[in-house]
Amino acid sequence: MMGERFSAQAPRAVVMVRPHAFRSNPDTLHDNAYQSGSTAQPAAHIALRAHAEVSAMVQRLREAGVTVHLFEDTDDQTPDAVFPNNWFSTHAGGHVAIYPMAMPSRRRERRNDVIEQLKQHYRVQDVIDYSGLEHDHIYLEGTGAMVLDHIDRVAYVARSQRADPLALERFCTHFNFEPMLFDAADAKGRAVYHTNVLMCIGTDFAMAGFDMVSDPVRRRQLQERLAENGRTLVHLSEAQIAEFAGNALELQASQGRVLALSTRAWRALQADQKSALERHVRLLPLDVPTIELAGGSVRCMLAGIHLQARTTPAPTARTHAAPEMLCN
């Protein structure tokens, strides 16, 4: 059966956050071309719909056999809290990273209770906190800014305000990834704000809007690197990227690996693209149209857990700032 073997790329568990006061964040409109700034719907109606979409998504994932750790967000000052993958990531060997966020409203999303629950349920050896880099206007918004190849240890990053090369270099040094930095933009010349809108890497496939990579030489290098170990490459058009077709995450479910993506993204894929993906994963479309008003989709909503589960009570893990940080 496809996707039966263990893969470091496909986590069995995720963290999700269910918002109670969801809205499109005005602070992020200036650099997120995929975000809708206004809607005729009442704010309370939007918040209720977003809450319901997250609840239904959690149920679908759990029914598929994915472990979901669900947290509630009742803060009306954190409109993007539904996207936890931007402020922390987890890594094999028991490592957790906490990231510097570009917008002050997004810095409020960082939560000690999430990290503490990870320590209770999984083997966490240390937590490296890069958030102090915010004092020097240096940002790296987690697995939104980076698309990580956990198998070949490569961090693919589209340069933007939210992905600083210095922070990327430090992350890659600490977590043993090879950085692959590139420029990507839409037809109007607007930089792609987060790499995970542009690209998805699975165990045996990778799909991306390759034509949006500005430098043709770098574009070819990316394709060659991704295909180096036999991955199937699926080329997405700019129109498909705008429908969030690249914003997907491979997960280990009870009956093999699945690709979690939005219904909107699934509809944007062509039949031959779906067939190419279905040779490796089962497609799991999830309906989140209200959440997508904020400029993110299913991948942004999922913080994958790449940690070993505990069978005994947890000792206290270490939390410390990243070495040589430029903070005051």
- Which of 321 and 324 is assigned the larger pLDDT? 321
Confidence of residue 316 (pLDDT cuts 50, 70, 90): low
Q: Is the pLDDT of residue 133 over 80?
A: yes
Quote the domain boundaries for residue 134: 13-321
pTM for this prediction: 0.92
Residue 7 lies in a domain: no
Within-domain flag for 3:
no
d(CA 118, CA 95): 11
Residue 211, SS3 per DSSP = helix
Name the percent of the chain lying above pLDDT 70: 89
How many structural domains is the chain composed of? Answer: 1
178/148 Cα distance (integer angstroms): 10
pLDDT at 4 over 90: no
The DSSP call for residue 271 is: H
* Beta-carbon contacts of residue 137 (< 8 Å; ≥ 6 apart): none
Would 203 be classed as within a structural domain? yes
pLDDT score recorded for residue 327: 34
- For residues 312-327, average pLDDT: 48
**pLDDT for the residue numbered 125:** 97
* DSSP-derived secondary structure letter, 194: -
| Secondary structure of residue 174 in the 3-state scheme | helix
Which is nearest to 17 in space by CA: 69, 94, 90, 93? Answer: 69
Distance of alpha carbon 144 from alpha carbon 195, whole angstroms: 6
Q: Is the pLDDT of residue 24 over 80?
A: no
pLDDT in the model for residue 239: 96
H helix or E strand, kind and range, residue 69:
strand 67-73
For the chain, what is the mean pLDDT? 91
- Indicate the DSSP class of residue 308: P
Q: What's the average model confidence in pLDDT over 18-44?
A: 68
pLDDT band at 41 (very low <50, low <70, confident <90, very high): confident
pLDDT higher than threshold 50 for residue 320: no
Q: How confident is the model at residue 321, as a pLDDT? A: 52
Asked if residue 205 lies in contact with residue 232, where contact means CB atoms within 8 angstroms, the answer is yes
* Integer Cα distance of 64 and 61 in angstroms: 5
Determine the average pLDDT of the residues in 42-68. 94
258-270 pLDDT tens trace: 999 999 999 999 9
CA nearest neighbour of 97 among 155, 151, 137: 155
What's the CATH number where 122 sits?
A: 3.75.10.10
- Does residue 218 lie within any of the structural domains? yes
Give, rounded to a whole angstrom, the gap between the first and last alpha carbons of the chain. Answer: 53
Domain contains 65:
yes
In this prediction, residue 5 carries a pLDDT of 73
Which amino acid is it at 46? I
Q: Decide if 173 is inside a domain.
A: yes
Q: What are the tokens at 51?
A: 């809450």
Q: How far apart are CA 179 and CA 109, in angstroms?
A: 26
